[in-house]
Amino acid sequence: MNVLTAHPRTLILSGDCDTDQQEQICGALIRLNLASDDDITLYIDSNGGGIYPAIHIYDAIKESRAPVYGIVIGKAVSAAFVALLACHNRAAFPHAMLMYHAPTLAGIRLDDEDFEHQLTTRRTFHDIMLSELVRRGNASRAQFEQWSREERYLNAHEALEAGILDQVTRPWP
């Protein structure tokens, strides 16, 4: 999948948020930042994916000199929600859906030598995400924690009211 579109400063995060998407998004962000500090638009329509690709995409967006404008055109779930959260400005189409939940431990055995490290990494990242939501949002940490536990889907207007989005936007004319 090519994350670049016909517009040179527009990226798309769709499908699984995996290592391939991470490499493409992060690589494109680096190239675009080297070229100029002009705005970058990231369109998002994804059910999410792994924690490590999410962390890398989050960091790349947060460290971008060029402002990154995230626009949810369908879904921003799990790891895709994390990418949106990093954006300098966050918008969604009126019928978009957003959902954040705590990272899972799927595929990691209790007797794995790396188990404690994996658990600590996920707890730390979850705490960072909750702190970011509280910093930029209009809801309490307890509310964001509850929504995370419930894996509650918010529509664009609910996400705007909670301060997760900066605006609900209309699809292009």
pLDDT tens digits, one per residue of 56-101: 999 999 999 999 999 999 999 999 999 999 999 999 999 999 999 9
pTM for the model stands at 0.89
- The answer on pLDDT for 5 being more than 80 is no
- Decide the pairing of beta strands 154-155 and 40-49: unpaired
Q: How far apart are the first and last CA of the chain?
A: 26
Tell me which amino acid residue 157 is.
Answer: H
pLDDT tens digits, one per residue of 151-166: 999 999 999 999 999 9
Contact residues for 140 (Cβ-Cβ < 8 A; gap 6+): 134
- Residue 83 forms beta bridges with which residues? none
pLDDT tens digits, one per residue of 38-54: 999 999 999 999 888 99
